[in-house]
A and B are shown apart, each in its own frame.
Chain A
Amino acid sequence: MPKPTKGPRLGGGPAHERLLLANLAASLFTHKSIQTTEAKAKRLRPLAERLITFAKRGDLHARRRVLATIKDKSVVHELFTQIAPLVADREGGYTRIVKTGFRKGDNAPMAVIELVLEPVTPKVKKAKPAAASAPVEEPAEETEAAAAPAEAELQEDVAAEVAEEEAAAEANEAAEAEVDAEDATVEPAAEDAER
Chain B
Amino acid sequence: MAVPKRKQSRANTRARRSQWKAEVPTLVKTVENGKVTYSLPHRAKVVTDSQGTELYLEYKGRKVADA
Give Cα A42–Cα B30 distance, bound, in whole angstroms: 27
Q: Given that A98-B59, A100-B57 are contacting pairs, would A112 and B43 also be in contact in the complex, using a CB cutoff of 8 Å?
A: no
CB nearest to B65 among chain A residues: A112
Contacts of A33 in B (CB 8 A): 65
Main secondary structure of the interface of A (DSSP, over half): strand
Contacts of A35 in B (CB 8 A): 65
> What 1/0 flags go to B28-67 for Cβ under 8 Å of A?
0000000000000011100000000000010100001100
Cβ contact within 8 Å between B42 and A100: no
> Is A103 located at the chain interface by the 8 A CB criterion?
no
Give Cα A193–Cα B59 distance, bound, in whole angstroms: 69
Give Cα A27–Cα B42 distance, bound, in whole angstroms: 25
How far is the CB of B65 from the nearest CB of chain A, in Å?
A: 5
Give Cα A98–Cα B44 distance, bound, in whole angstroms: 7
Give Cα A28–Cα B44 distance, bound, in whole angstroms: 20
Give Cα A99–Cα B43 distance, bound, in whole angstroms: 5
